Structure 1
């Protein structure tokens, strides 16, 4: 019975003052982190850090909304490509929230398998988008080099595109997951309870 209550609580979402504060903050974190990564031409995106934190603090629905809004705003202001991936951001937000509730962000040793699952979710959603809109590539040079190598050796475009996306997602989500974990652990308990108490 207790597990059912926890599960019900996980999917609860109310537009309270807490969530109305958290979602714009998460969108801002996503936006700045992604712009920073793109500006320095890093081999990762970093654009889901705010989504991770929102999902951990206020549940998967809040995280999904944060990710979705960020992709729309980022696409309208800095990179039109980003808009297409709002579906991926929704999937990331939901996955992080579920894994958090299952205890995968309780200690550092559990964060790695969580990041692996989140990377897999992200790659599964993004791969068809990459194939439809960009011929299977991601726009990150070393991932696209793997794609070019595989297609040159007659590997299916779908497999090559998934491999391109997954190797990048794995690195990105491991970095972001540990960053989110470290930030979350440093948050004052009062702040954490403020968001959780409003769910």
Structure 2
């Protein structure tokens, strides 16, 4: 069954209603717990955008962007200061997910994969300059940074090595998160999906 939320014409509308005031903190909490779990278990992915995906899918790109931004700031203030730097990346992810979802790119498992690749590119393009400026091009994920070191050792430009490091990690992370969000969204009651969509109209 195809689930409907925001229609294409309304994706950029945003109202700070009771629904969104409930959704955004919930999305921030999901992001926070997922990212903390991934870091605690030393997983090769971040998982910190799951709540952002869900907020964007339910209430549009603005709600998702706000959720991602707030989470990065809070996470940076409590567990990992470097997280705050990537708040702008989370905004980009929220916008990309919201637009792709509104255009029907989360309607099937095969389309979700394509969406994840697009979102990974968006994330990598935004994050790479931050990685270079603040961390010399590395991401903080061991196997990705091993690839970065190998590329630099073979005389690849730092910016290119950093982008490849970030992109390969983002592909794995965003594919995992996109499918998690896709399956969670499809299990939500239709009434809930329509509630958030109608609330922004």
- Normalization by structure 2: what TM-score? 0.96
| Residue 136 (structure 2) aligns with | 135
Q: Distance in 2 between matches of 1:107 and 1:144?
A: 33
Matches within 5 A, 1:1-199: 6-199=7-200
Q: Deviation digits for residues 142-199 of structure 1, max 9, x if unmatched?
A: 0000000000000000000000000000000000000000000000111111111101
> Larger RCO: Structure 1 or Structure 2 (Cα < 8 Å, ≥ 6 residues apart)?
2
Instruction: Report the aligned-residue RMSD.
Output: 1.0
Q: Distance in 1 between matches of 2:25 and 2:88?
A: 18
Contact 2:132 2:159 in 1 (8 A): yes
Q: Distance in 1 between matches of 2:11 and 2:29?
A: 24
Residue segments in structure 1 that go unaligned for 5+ positions in a row: none
Residue segments in structure 2 that go unaligned for 5+ positions in a row: 1-5
| Residue 3 (structure 2) aligns with | none
Q: Deviation digits for residues 63-98 of structure 1, max 9, x if unmatched?
A: 000000000000000000000000000000000000
Contact 2:62 2:94 in 1 (8 A): yes
Q: Distance in 2 between matches of 1:147 and 1:178?
A: 27
Q: Cα offset for 1:18?
A: 0.5
Q: Distance in 1 between matches of 2:7 and 2:112?
A: 21
